């Protein structure tokens, strides 16, 4: 078993999609007392560490191999993730969580939206998000 610092170092550059998925999942299921960002990020970190042990849904660098499995493993619920190409946030569906890929100067970064409004970014300062354009989205839904 690798140490926690080794694990976090390995995923630091590629975990924005996985962390955004997990943040959206935990946020969608939280009651009003659990929407504190630190509380949710703690749950995200725990889920990422668990996934790094099994490497079922992500690889050793944090790259998402199976989004629906990642979300199911973390929440014990069934999820559907729909991929779509976009060129504007306005194209996102209403009342949904969407992880959006921004592209700038050949680089990409994923951030989380809810109801077409920005909700979460894994980085404090992302040039892709600040200056780039949305190019892809992953729409997250719990399957009843």
pLDDT of amino acid 101: 98
- Pairing verdict, β 117-121 and 107-114: antiparallel
Tokens of 103: 């592209």
For the record, the structure tokens of 37 come out as 């960002």
d(CA 144, CA 138): 19
User: pLDDT confidence of 1, banded at 50, 70, 90?
Assistant: low
d(CA 138, CA 99): 5
Question: What is the number of domains present in the chain?
Answer: 1
H-helix or E-strand containing 140? strand 133-142
pLDDT at 16 over 90: yes
Per-residue pLDDT band for 119 (boundaries 50, 70, 90) equals very high
Which residue range(s) make up the domain with 9? 4-142
Q: pTM (2 decimals)?
A: 0.93
């Amino acid at each position: 078993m690798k140490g926690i610092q080794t694990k976090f170092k390995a995923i630091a550059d590629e975990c924005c999609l996985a962390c955004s998925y997990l943040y959206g999942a935990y946020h969608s299921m939280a009651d009003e007392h659990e929407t504190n960002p630190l509380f949710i990020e703690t749950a995200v970190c725990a889920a990422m560490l668990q996934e790094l042990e099994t490497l079922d849904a992500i690889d050793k660098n944090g790259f998402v191999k199976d989004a629906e499995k990642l979300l199911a493993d973390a929440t014990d619920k069934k999820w559907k993730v729909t991929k779509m190409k976009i060129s504007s946030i306005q194209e996102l569906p209403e009342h949904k969580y969407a992880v959006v890929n921004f592209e700038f100067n050949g680089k990409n970064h994923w951030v989380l939206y809810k109801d077409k409004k920005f909700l979460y970014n894994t980085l404090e300062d992302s040039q892709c998000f600040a200056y780039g354009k949305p190019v892809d989205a992953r729409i997250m839904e719990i399957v009843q």
